């Protein structure tokens, strides 16, 4: 049965969906007063297992014990009542509401009638109890990602949570926010709570966790003390083979080969609200080059990528591809010039989730031979091309006829990366392409990006992972409040210098 020191024990848990075994005979103990990391590739079964534990899914087999007692959760509320809560990667807050309103929304202890003053006082008391600083009157859409996450954690803890599940909690946080979060998690651990930490960032896993369990193919392959593991050994367990982390080989182009592909001249753009998004941006990138773009989230990275891809109009300046001004061209026209774009939000901007994998795979070429001829669309040709792309990108899917939304996030990202790389003869724009992906998917995407660079395309790589930029880039440009602070050759770049530039320190710009 369950281990005496375990807060939660899962024994032989199996969960299946039509044609898919998501979890197969999974047994794990989560101990009181520990941070237990749960690792696995995208699609390994982590989310499904946690959905069983939080009452969203019912298992097909196996048992769950909480504090030694067998439990059966028919709905999420049952798990909450048993002291199990989850902070999801994508926050579940209402942005138009205040912090206090979000904390009390849907909570049975919130009186039917309560004044704003009482609501704010209650929120302050909750924050004080758990040692987390908040402004109860602030609206959610005014808060940073780290502050929003604190509100999510408080919402869960206020409802009596003893087992806290955090899913990719550092994906959108700055380094100081990560440090702040880890202080909170260690304090919760010290209070006797159980923390289940799901992440793909192996260095963070080793820093914060006491033990780590690795899932692969829906099964537990290992549980170890974190102090006995390395990032390399964890990566190998996750993927089932040796994973390469070293800097990838790159083609050293001659001066004749390195012609300028993209140039931005005094480019400005605005947000939908009319506020400045980019201001007087000057930038260039050549063939056989990866230009990394660094900056704290929300400092113009997305707007920069959209301007170059033809998604966002410019209000001033010129955007040139191979010396031709494209500032007034739309996204389709820019793509036809050989520009691929892996957007920040793949489901909103990159895919049609309800359409099959085959249709999404050929979105960029559906008007071209052999997929189309004249007004005729050839389904068989589209399926054949999609199957080829799925195989080459190592996308895991039952077949290319299933809806795209049924694929895991990592498999969706592999597919969009393959699709955009295939058209990126001149320029590839990759915006946070590795965010939230497992080490196997990251390794594959890095290889795709480097292949484009070595084939002669220019690559713009936007990332919040500075180590990633240093490993892949030839040069790194830093954005701060929509302006280019400076551009460094990677040989001159250090984490400390880039960090200072992200805060607005000026350096000489190399264009």
Write the pLDDT tens digit of every residue in 389-428: 999 888 888 889 988 888 877 788 889 999 999 999 999 9
| Topology alike, domains 6-239 and 260-352+422-502 | yes
Query: Band of the pLDDT at 32, cuts 50, 70, 90?
Result: very high
Structure tokens at 351: 């895919």
Whole-number pLDDT of residue 240:
79
Please, where are the H alpha helices in 105-229?
A: 116-130, 145-158, 175-190, 202-208
Residue listed under structure tokens 């260039």: 284
Mean pLDDT across the chain: 87
CATH superfamily of 6-239: P-loop containing nucleotide triphosphate hydrolases (3.40.50.300)
Q: Is residue 329 over pLDDT 70?
A: yes
CB hemisphere CA count around 144 (13 angstroms): 13
Q: Of 86-95, 204-213, 457-466, which gets the smallest average pLDDT?
A: 86-95
Cβ(205)–Cβ(234) under 8 Å? yes
Residue 88 has what pLDDT? Answer: 83
User: CB neighbours of 116 closer than 8 A, spacing ≥ 6?
Assistant: 100
Residue 493's pLDDT band (cuts 50, 70, 90): confident
User: 319-341 in b/e burial notation, b at 16+ Cβ within 10 A?
Assistant: bbbeeeebbebeeeebbebbbbb
The whole-number pLDDT of residue 509 equals 45
Average pLDDT over residues 283-287: 95
The whole-number average pLDDT for the span 168-172 is 78
In the predicted model, what is the mean pLDDT of residues 335-343?
A: 92
468 has pLDDT over 80: yes
Cα dihedral 430→436→441→445 (10° resolution): 10
Average pLDDT for residues 127-143, to the nearest whole number? 85
Which of the pair, 133 or 223, is modelled with greater confidence? 223
Residue 246 pLDDT > 60, yes or no?
A: no
Tokens 């439990």 correspond to 71
Say what the pTM is. 0.67
**CB-based contacts of 275, cutoff 8 Å, min separation 6:** none
Distance from C-alpha of 310 to C-alpha of 324, rounded to nearest angstrom: 13
Distance in angstroms (rounded) separating the CA atoms of residues 33 and 351: 42
Given this model, what pLDDT does residue 511 score? Answer: 47
Nearest-CA neighbor of 170 among 146, 194, 141, 206? 146
Q: How confident is the model at residue 3 (pLDDT cuts 50, 70, 90)?
A: very low
- What top-level class would CATH report for the domain 260-352+422-502? alpha beta
- Helix (H) or strand (E) run with residue 447 in it: helix 439-454
What residue segments make up the domains of the chain, in order of their start?
6-239, 260-352+422-502
CA 114, 118, 123, 129: dihedral to nearest 10 degrees?
Answer: -120
Confidence of residue 243 (pLDDT cuts 50, 70, 90): low
Sheet containing 163-167: order of strands: 84-87, 163-167, 194-198, 35-40, 211-216, 219-225
Does position 314 have pLDDT exceeding 90, yes or no?
Answer: yes
User: Looking at residue 244, what is its pLDDT?
Assistant: 61
* Contact assessment for residue 462 and residue 298, using Cβ atoms and an 8 Å cutoff: no
Secondary structure, 3-state, 22-84: EEEEEEEEEECCCEEEEEECCCCCHHHHHHHHCCCCCCCEEEEEECCEEECCCCHHHHHHCCE
Of 87, 81, 133, 83, the C-alpha closest to 108 is 81
pLDDT in tens, 494-506: 888 888 888 777 6
Q: What percent of the chain has pLDDT over 90?
A: 44
Asked whether 508 and 491 are in contact (CB, 8 A), the reply is no
Give the C-alpha separation, 104 to 122, whole Å.
Answer: 9
Residues in the chain: 511
Q: Is the pLDDT of residue 510 over 60?
A: no
User: At residue 367, does pLDDT exceed 90?
Assistant: no
Indicate the SS3 state at residue 177: helix
The answer to whether 290 touches 310, Cβ cutoff 8 Å, is no
Which pLDDT does position 73 carry in this prediction?
A: 93
Q: How many CB atoms lie within 10 A of CB 294?
A: 28
DSSP secondary structure letter of residue 6 = E
């Amino acid at each position: 049965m369950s281990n005496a020191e375990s807060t939660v024990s899962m024994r032989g848990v199996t969960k299946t969906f039509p044609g898919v075994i998501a979890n197969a005979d999974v047994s794990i103990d989560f101990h009181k007063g520990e941070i237990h990391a749960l690792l696995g590739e995208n699609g390994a079964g982590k989310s499904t297992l946690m959905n069983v534990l939080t009452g969203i899914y019912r298992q097909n087999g196996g048992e769950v014990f909480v504090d030694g007692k067998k439990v059966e959760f028919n709905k999420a509320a049952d798990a909450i009542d048993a002291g199990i809560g989850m902070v999801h990667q994508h926050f579940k807050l209402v942005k138009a509401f205040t912090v206090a309103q979000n904390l009390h929304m849907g909570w049975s202890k919130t009186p039917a009638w309560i004044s704003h003053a009482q609501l704010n006082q209650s929120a302050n008391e909750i924050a004080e109890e758990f040692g987390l600083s908040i402004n109860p009157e602030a609206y959610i859409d005014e808060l940073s990602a780290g502050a929003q996450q604190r509100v999510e954690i408080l919402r869960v803890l206020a409802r009596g949570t003893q087992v806290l599940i955090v899913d990719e909690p550092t994906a959108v946080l700055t380094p100081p926010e990560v440090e702040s979060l880890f202080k909170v998690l260690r304090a919760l651990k010290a209070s006797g709570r159980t923390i289940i930490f799901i992440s793909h960032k192996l260095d963070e896993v080793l820093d914060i966790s006491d033990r780590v369990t690795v899932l692969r193919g829906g099964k537990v392959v290992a549980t170890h003390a974190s102090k006995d593991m390395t990032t390399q050994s964890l990566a190998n367990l996750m993927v089932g083979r040796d994973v390469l982390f070293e800097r990838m080989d790159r083609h050293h182009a001659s001066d004749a080969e390195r012609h300028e592909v993209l140039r931005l001249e005094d480019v400005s753009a605005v947000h939908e609200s009319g506020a400045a998004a980019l201001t007087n941006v000057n930038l260039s990138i050549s063939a056989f080059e990866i230009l990394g773009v660094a900056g704290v989230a929300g400092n113009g990275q997305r707007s920069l990528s959209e301007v170059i891809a033809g998604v966002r109009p410019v209000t001033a300046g010129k955007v040139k591809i191979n010396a031709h001004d494209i500032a007034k061209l739309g996204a389709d026209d820019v793509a036809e010039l050989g520009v691929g774009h892996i957007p920040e939000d793949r489901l909103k901007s990159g895919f049609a989730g309800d359409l099959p994998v085959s249709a999404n795979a050929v979105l960029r070429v559906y008007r071209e031979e052999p997929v189309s001829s004249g007004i005729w669309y050839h389904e068989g040709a589209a399926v054949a091309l999609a199957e080829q792309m799925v195989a080459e990108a190592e996308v895991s899917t039952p077949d290319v006829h299933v809806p795209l939304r049924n694929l895991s996030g990592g498999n969706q990202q592999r597919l969009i990366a393959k699709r955009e790389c295939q058209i990126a003869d001149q320029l590839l724009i990759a915006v946070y392409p590795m965010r939230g992906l497992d080490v196997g998917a990251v390794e594959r995407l890095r290889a795709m990006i480097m292949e484009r660079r070595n084939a002669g395309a220019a690559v713009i790589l936007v990332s919040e992972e500075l180590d990633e930029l240093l490993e892949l880039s030839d040069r790194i440009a830093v954005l701060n409040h929509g302006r280019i602070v400076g551009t460094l050759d990677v040989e001159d770049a250090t984490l400390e210098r880039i960090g200072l530039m992200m805060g607005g320190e000026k350096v000489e710009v190399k264009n």
